[in-house]
Structure 1
């Protein structure tokens, strides 16, 4: 079967889901950015026309990816990663600063956000590293290297500063978990997030008292032979120190706009006409759609321009207003189908690198999808994270296309070598 054509071994279900999401995204962008004179969808002077150009230029990228040998990603993974880090470093002397963030390169009328592409390089090199048969994520040294691969680009991105993009890289921890990372890391991360949130809502002394009660209950429910009072004492001291540090971090480390976004999330001391305006308008737009929506191009919140940047990070508000609950569920269903399909195909890989990369792709897409939608319904702080294949932008569309089709090529290559 080695001579089998690539087109015969491609997973066309993933391709169809990709194409469906891209087309739906384009029509939504057109609606979200439609001027009063109702310009043509193909007008290159409008946002929708530019998005069509980005879609058309994605086609040669797809052809190249599907044509070249998939082994190139194994062979040159560290080269791609090193080049990505250089691109991030190059932003500091050569990048363009927009809204306080230096995360774009500007070439005439063309802009490029390197962090979008560095996600791909990081996923590749992480998959390459974990594909070594000697690597065992139960080993602390191997864990340290894996987390180091993730944290190095994160550190450079945080210096821009771009917390939204940096957050996405930590989704790769889910792929590490699939490859054997102890679940204690996920539990520790989830616990730290929960304690941070609770420390903002509850007085530190009360939270520590609650933690003490829980630890005492856990201690006495544990078998006598396995009880270690010193361990529980250390855990309580650690929780106490962490809880008391939250207020300091919130007041002295976070930027003012980051504090505002957290306050907006919890409804604390915010002016809904200022720092809470975007989220408030987004919720009004989504809620006004009802069960079936107001109809395509009929969204009053969208047409009135009440939701800022609606064709980018807030694109889902247009879906909610014009397509309603039914349309929103349909879009979510398509994303879930794509994620499940990627994981299904990843599990069928004979190569550990291909399997790990498949889970990296699913993790990155899931984090973008989850954060983008939950921030609009007030379940997550507002961050600048695009909705994959939907939000306007060349860098994001090209990066998501490369990310997905590299896996599609890897998957097709596995079939050909069978």
Structure 2
């Protein structure tokens, strides 16, 4: 399917708040109607026209059976070659999975044993903790450095500890990183591969945000760096094209990991929906023009957020994200008590500290930093994948909420 011509408009400005409140998914229904939701990773955009057309055609034809064929992997391979220069992508080295996190769990079951350690770079996507723990593996943290990039010494120590815990440890890489928006450089990823080989860890790279690299950075697929031949990557179109409700993802194996991937149980491939496969395939095959408009809008919002924070929340630290539509905000300067729940990281709906304050006082929903693990206390994650008007109103409210009350 050829790319559908676009009218050149920013997808983030297409829907009004009233239209968004008609949605029934988590972002706009978890909180009351007076709350501006900038928390969970859903975009405030309409579907890309090619994706919507593909879904309408399938519905009109009653094409709602079982997924078939390798079109999804072929579309991803072509996209990866065009956008990232990944020219040796192999369709035969892929397997369809229900979504990225379920794919991660299935791969962990293939290459680790119950009780083995899985290293993560905290603060990191909360389901890394929950899914790994529920799979019977233990999490070991390698905290990010002060610059929010991977810390080589911390990784070395965490890999050593992981190897001491059991014979088959793994490293769960977030590439690009959620919640910081850091896009790992090729040299950083090559260093990860060298460390993993030295300590005997298998690497699984979550690359769900790969299409969302903003101007000034370049995405490097982990499987393209030297030493990553026995690793895996997982991705989908769900974050970039807002398709989380249409389940389908791909696991990709390095050349030395293909035999492991082929051991994945057949029933795992029954989880993705046919409509999901059609939507993700079309996004990668025909959705680039829409994606480029989105990236332009996100780049503008990234700059707008910096301006708004400087005006309304000058004590809040903001590291300009290189990718994703997520901003990791250091609110420790606000002096808000953290009062963290005792459950620890992983429960994405838990609120504490600044996130709870902003919800209660500003009626703005953000993700609470403590659920992202060590290094998250006192931080919030803000989703700027919304309209400039909503973003402006949200940060303005947050600024008012953070100002000390003068009493009466």
The TM-score normalised by the length of structure 2 is 0.29
Q: Normalized per residue, which structure has more helix?
A: 1
The TM-score normalised by the length of structure 1 is 0.28
Q: Normalized per residue, which structure has more strand?
A: 2
Larger radius of gyration: 1
